[in-house]
């Protein structure tokens, strides 16, 4: 199962815009990471803009979506890595 990691911050307007979608998807694909509280991790993955949603599979980064995008974009990006 892929893991969704959302790099976000509470002050980020676009992050707040997609938060309901992220909360919904996080229940199925894992969770969120506050970029302000975890700057080392954000730096490790080269996060330059938030929201950035990364998809990991088996501990390896597979894809990333940057910005406030529609739920359908996030779902289709995640679903590419779901093994059925």
Token readout for 47 is: 């996060």
Q: Is 30 buried (19+), middle (13-18) or exposed (0-12) by CB count in 10 A? A: middle
Q: From the candidates 2, 4, 8, 15, which is the catalytic residue?
A: 15
Active site residue 15: yes
Measure the CA angle with vertex 20, ends 4 and 50; round to 5°: 55
Is 43 tagged catalytic? no
Q: What's the whole-model pTM score?
A: 0.83
Q: Which residue would you say has higher pLDDT here, 66 or 3?
A: 66
Residue 38 CA to residue 25 CA, distance in Å, equals 21
Which of 12, 18, 55, 78 is flagged as catalytic?
12
Per-residue model confidence (pLDDT) at position 25: 85
Per-residue pLDDT tens digits for 5-58:
899 999 999 999 999 998 888 777 766 788 999 999 999 999 999 999 999 888
Token pair, residue 15, equals 């992050």
């Amino acid at each position: 199962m892929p893991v969704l990691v959302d790099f976000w911050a509470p002050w980020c307007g676009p992050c707040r815009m997609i938060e309901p979608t992220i909360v919904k998807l996080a229940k199925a694909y894992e969770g969120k990471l506050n970029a302000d509280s975890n700057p080392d991790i954000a730096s490790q993955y080269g996060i330059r803009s938030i929201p950035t949603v990364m998809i990991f599979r088996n501990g390896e980064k597979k894809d990333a979506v940057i910005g406030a995008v529609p739920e359908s974009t996030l779902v289709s990006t995640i679903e590419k890595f779901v093994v059925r």
